[in-house]
Amino acid sequence: VTAEYAPVSIIGPNRKNGDRLIVVDQSGRIDIGGVMKSIQPTEYLHQLFRNFEKILALLNEMEANTGVQCSVYYVFDLDGLKFDPSLLGIISGPFRVSWQLIGQHYREFINRFVVVNTPSYINVLWSAISPFVPENARNRVAITGKEWRQEILELADRDCLPERYGGEIPDEKVLR
């Protein structure tokens, strides 16, 4: 259920021979409340760990090819996210726990979190999440505004991004 209804898309390097792997989490399109009611939290965590093990394997491959340490640009796309009273409970509960575990096991793995298509109530979400984000990780979170496509293009070349994010790769080839 998690792989199908809460997919993570691993796009590829940010540039030809780039040292950053682009990963897109289309959180706004996920019925996270429905997913959490349909499965046990451990199933969600297992899928999250499977995703991160795949990302780690790709990073290791990139490092072998480039000879430099590589990391991830993790894009949270909130397009379509609807404010629901249960959202804050999920964010401060299962979502928080899962990302704390990821932080423990994959420390320094993610170079930057880029949050795009932010809703008008992003400050409410950030207020709920930020107390759980370690101080040293907060400066890696970029909450973008209306010019988010331009901000992403500063991180990656057009030929390495899906069309939806200002790139040239057909969305259906890389986005799940």
User: How does DSSP assign the chain, residue by residue?
Assistant: -HHHHS-EEEEEESSTT-SEEEEEE-GGGS-HHHHHHHS-HHHHHHHHHHHHHHHHHHHHHHHHHHSS--EEEEEEE-TT----HHHHHHIIIIIHHHHHHHHHHSTT-EEEEEEES--TTHHHHHHHHGGGS-HHHHTTEEE--TTHHHHHHHHS-GGGSBGGGTSSB-HHHH--
Where is average pLDDT lowest: 27-31, 92-96, 167-171?
A: 92-96
The domain 2-174 having CATH identifier 1.10.260.40: the answer here is no
Sequence ranges of the domains in the chain: 2-174
Judge if pTM exceeds 0.75.
yes
Lowest mean pLDDT among 5-9, 55-59, 79-83, 137-141: 5-9
pLDDT at 1: 52
β 71-77/20-25 pair status: parallel
| Per-residue pLDDT, 22 | 98
Give whichever of 39-43, 88-92, 124-128, 168-172 has the largest mean pLDDT: 168-172
pLDDT tens, position by position, 86-127? 777 777 766 677 777 777 777 788 999 999 999 998 998 888
**Could you tell me the pLDDT band of residue 3, with boundaries at 50, 70 and 90?**
low
pLDDT of res. 115: 95
Residue 147: its pLDDT value, please? 95
Statement: residue 42 has pLDDT above 80: no
- How far, in Å, CA of 158 to CA of 66, rounded? 20
C-alpha 39: how far from its chain's center? 21
Q: What is the structure's pLDDT at 94?
A: 67
pLDDT higher than threshold 70 for residue 159: yes
